[in-house]
Structures are given as C-alpha cells and as structure tokens.
Amino acid sequence: MKPTELNRLSASQAAVKLQQREISAEQLVRSCLDRIEEREPAVQAWTQVAADSALAQARMLDSGPVRGLLHGLPIGVKDLFDTDGIATSYGSPIYANHVPDSDAAAVALAREAGAIVLGKTVTTEFATFHAGKTHNPHRPGHTPGGSSSGSAAAVADFMVPLAFGTQTAASVIRPAAFCGVVGYKPTYGSIVRAGVKSLSETLDTIGAFGRSVPDVALFVAALTGDKRLADTGNVDGLRIGLCRTHEWPLADPDTQAAFDLARRRLTAAGAVVTEIDLPAHLSTMVQVQTEVMAFDAARSLAHERVRHPAMLSSDLAALLASGMSISVEQHQRNLAGAALGRQLIDSVFDSCDVLFAPSAVGTAPEGILATGNPVFSRMWTLLGVPCVHLPFMTGAHGLPVGMQAVGRIGGDRGLLQAAHWMMEKLSG
C-alpha cells in the first residue's frame, strides 16, 4: 500500500501495522490530512482540523512505547465533546467562541489508549435536529444524517478510520446508514459521558463509527476497558430474529429490499432466521422516546433556553417548548412505560441471539437542511440495548442501505460477534 493510501486502512489493520512499527503514526496522520485537504470542500465534515497538534502527538507516539489499543490511530471527535484547547461549539452559535480547558472523559480515555485527536466533526445543534453544513460523501446535496453528521461522513470518506458519535434518538445508527459505515451504539451507560454536552441523561449514549465491525469493537474495547469486546471471532449456529418493528409501514422499498436480501443471505449462510413480532406495548416506545427526549432536553438545555432564546434555531425552540409542556406526571408514566419495555425486550432474546431491524426509512434523502427520520432508532435508544448498523446494499441514487443488529442489554460482546459474522455473510 502506498503511503498516500494509508487513510484507507481500517482501524484494526492500521492498529496492527502501527504496533509493529510497519507504519508510523505520522504517516497515517499525514495521509488522513491529505484526504481531508482533497475532499473537505465537498464533504464539509469538520468544524476544525487540529493538524499541528495531531502531527505533534503522532511524532511523540512514534518515538515512545506502544500506549494501548488505539496507539497512533487518528480519531474524529464529534463537536459535542469537550476538547482541551480545541474550540467546541456543540453545533450552536451560543458557543461560537468556546474553548474548553479539559477533554471529555471519553476523549481522555481514547488519548490514554494512544489515539490522536485529528479534529472536531460537525454536529447538529446540540445533537438535535437543526443540521450543520455536512454533505453525504456519496452524493453531495444529500444529507449525511445527524446528529453525528461529520463523524459518519469523515469515516465514510476515508478521512479518518474512527470517530465518536452520540445517540439520543438515532444519531449514530442513522448517519451510519446514510453514509454506509458501521455505527455502534453500545449498551446505555457503557462509555462515560462526562464532558459531553448533555441533551437527555435518560437517553444519551456515546457510540462509534468505523468501516468494519472489528474497528468499532476495538474503539469501544479501549474506551470501556473491556478488552473482551475486541474479540469478534466467529460464531456458530446464530439465531437471528428478523424484526420489522411496529414502524415497518414507514419502511420504503429500499429498506424492504434490504430486509429480504438479509433473510436470503443469512439463511443461506446457515443462520437460523425467524421473524420476530414485538410485543404490542413496544408500539408505544417511539412516542415515549420522543416525549422523554423533549422533557429532558428542556431541562438539560435550561441555561440556553432561558439565557439565549434568540440564539436557538426555531426547530430547537419548538422541541424545548414541547418539553416544557410535558408534566412531571406524564414523564413518570413515560419512564414506567420504558421500564416495562426493557423487561419485554429482554424476554424477546430468549428466542434469538440477535435481532436484525431497519436502521432508517430508506437511503439518505435529498437536501442537507434536514437529517432524515429517526423513527427506526427511537425505540432501541429508549430501551438502552446495543445496536450495530451494517451497510450491505445500495439503493436509490446509488446510496447505501443496511440494517441494524440489536442485542440485549449488556450483551455487547455477543452482539459484536454476531454482527461481524453477519457482515461477512451479507457482503458475500
């Protein structure tokens, strides 16, 4: 591989070469920077590229011992995470001049494992629905999805092998789907959130983008300290529950086709594939998630709502107003409904090892002012279950289509193994 193409290495491939000193971190960073220079005018994935500090960090790592699982790997950090000395705006003009004096805990853990912060990636406004400047790298003029827009686009476009995202409604899985990369939302609570701008304590979950299942597994293994996650070795006799979900009527022909293709290929590969109908109560989860998110956001963003109302988008102002209109009693009913949902989904996994469900309505819609419908992820986020988006098809306009593998709470290791196996069979 030519040094100019190092940016195309997957994180797992690069990690091995870096640890064996076959390539240097500086070479890898330079290759990523070259790609950014070439492609950023079209993609607009970054709010800031920290080229100088990334190169300095790379040289330091190259001249010292191997630091950890992420030694020498450049990462993109969603601009919702505080970064020490690097401007962090949370996608809002309120924080246009904000420069934190510390790293978010997850960023510090990534650095501790040897990762290099290449820069900050575009987020929607406070990770809600008002979009940033990013285009879908596969087709300018189409959305990359949100809220982790820049992270998904940068990974898809080979600007960086790994990037941080967060999901409160669909903000990891949907941009992964629209950009055709692997997105992994671990079990709720797996990765520490300190120093990430909070939208909903009930829902916010840090996740990862990569170009393969082992890549996101490696990243999250390093962040959680659970090195077992990095072992995505094969599985036998997988029981896969194809799950249309109660939102199936919203799935467009591309998503329907992905569902059928998945059934055929996974069955042919030897998995036990059945269709799973979810309990009726779970049909309420989309509405419950929508209300919990609004209720929480109105409180988490209280400072911005009260002190800077004129600097909020009308989208966000409406979301916060809807949150303020939800009573505490209603919120408590919603939390009780979510708790029941968590019990019900857990028993669904008695009859299968993994669920496989739509990630999005269809391919990335045209236009970059909206980030697409989050409906197919709201339930899973509310339930706190781990999800991995797998891209395995193309649909309208040649844009990517895929589905998400869903595991039980705490079952991340089994889910990643299943997802790795499924991805290999689906790509065949």
Candidates 4, 287, 325, 332; binder of its own copies (CB under 8 A) is 332
- State the Cα–Cα distance between residues 47 and 90, nearest whole angstrom: 10
* Residues forming beta bridges with residue 162, ordered by sequence position: 75
Minimum CB separation of residue 99 from its own copies in Å reads 10
147 is an active site residue: yes
The 3-state secondary structure of 159-197 reads: CCCEEEEEECCCCCHHHHHHHCCEEEECCCCCCCCCCEC
Closer CB to its own copies, 323 or 362, in the complex: 323
Catalytic, out of 31, 78, 190, 377: 78
The 3-state secondary structure of the chain reads: CCHHHHHHCCHHHHHHHHHCCCCCHHHHHHHHHHHHHHHHHHHCCEEEECHHHHHHHHHHHHCCCCCCCCCCCEEEEECCECECCECCCCCCHHHCCCCCCCCCHHHHHHHHCCCEEEEEECCCHHHCCCCCCCCECCECCECCCCCCHHHHHHHHCCCCCEEEEEECCCCCHHHHHHHCCEEEECCCCCCCCCCECCCCCCCCEEEEEECCHHHHHHHHHHHHCCHHHHCCCCCCCCEEEECCCCCHHHCCHHHHHHHHHHHHHHHHCCCEEEECCCCHHHHHHHHHHHHHHHHHHHHHCHHHHHHCHHHCCHHHHHHHHHHHCCCHHHHHHHHHHHHHHHHHHHHHCCCCCEEEEECCCCCCCEECCCCCCCHHHHHHHHHCCCEEEEEEEECHHHCEEEEEEECCCCCHHHHHHHHHHHHHHHHC
Minimum CB separation of residue 198 from its own copies in Å reads 4
201 touching its own copies, by CB under 8 A? yes
Each residue 269-298 as x (binds its own copies by CB under 8 A) or -, in order, gives ---------------------------x--
310 touching its own copies, by CB under 8 A? no
101 touching its own copies, by CB under 8 A? yes
Structure token pair of residue 395: 């649909």
Candidates 65, 249, 306, 310; binder of its own copies (CB under 8 A) is 306
- State the Cα–Cα distance between residues 177 and 167, nearest whole angstrom: 13
Minimum CB separation of residue 228 from its own copies in Å reads 8
Minimum CB separation of residue 102 from its own copies in Å reads 5
Minimum CB separation of residue 395 from its own copies in Å reads 38
Catalytic, out of 12, 89, 147, 190: 147
Catalytic, out of 31, 151, 171, 212: 171
339 touching its own copies, by CB under 8 A? no
Each residue 153-192 as x (binds its own copies by CB under 8 A) or -, in order, gives ------------------------------------x--x
Closer CB to its own copies, 250 or 335, in the complex: 335
Report yes or no: 412 and 187 within 8 Å, Cβ to Cβ.
yes
Candidates 20, 307, 310, 369; binder of its own copies (CB under 8 A) is 307
Candidates 18, 127, 179, 301; binder of its own copies (CB under 8 A) is 301
Binding segment (CB under 8 A) for its own copies, from list 99-107, 148-156, 356-364, 387-395: 99-107
Closer CB to its own copies, 71 or 135, in the complex: 71
* CA–centroid distance for 38 within its chain: 25
Question: Number of residues in contact with its own copies, rule: CB under 8 A?
Answer: 40
327: preceding bond cis by omega (within 30 degrees): no
108 touching its own copies, by CB under 8 A? yes
Minimum CB separation of residue 200 from its own copies in Å reads 9
111 touching its own copies, by CB under 8 A? yes
95 touching its own copies, by CB under 8 A? yes
Residues 71-90 within binding reach of its own copies (CB under 8 A)? 84
343 touching its own copies, by CB under 8 A? no
Candidates 4, 63, 102, 343; binder of its own copies (CB under 8 A) is 102
Binding segment (CB under 8 A) for its own copies, from list 107-115, 159-167, 278-286, 384-392: 107-115
1 touching its own copies, by CB under 8 A? no
Count of Cβ atoms closer than 10 Å to residue 249 Cβ: 6
Residues 223-252 within binding reach of its own copies (CB under 8 A)? 224-226, 228
Q: Which residues bind its own copies (CB under 8 A)?
A: 84, 95, 98, 101-109, 111-112, 189, 192-195, 197-198, 201-202, 224-226, 228, 296, 299-307, 328, 332, 410
Residues with a catalytic annotation lie at: 78, 147, 171
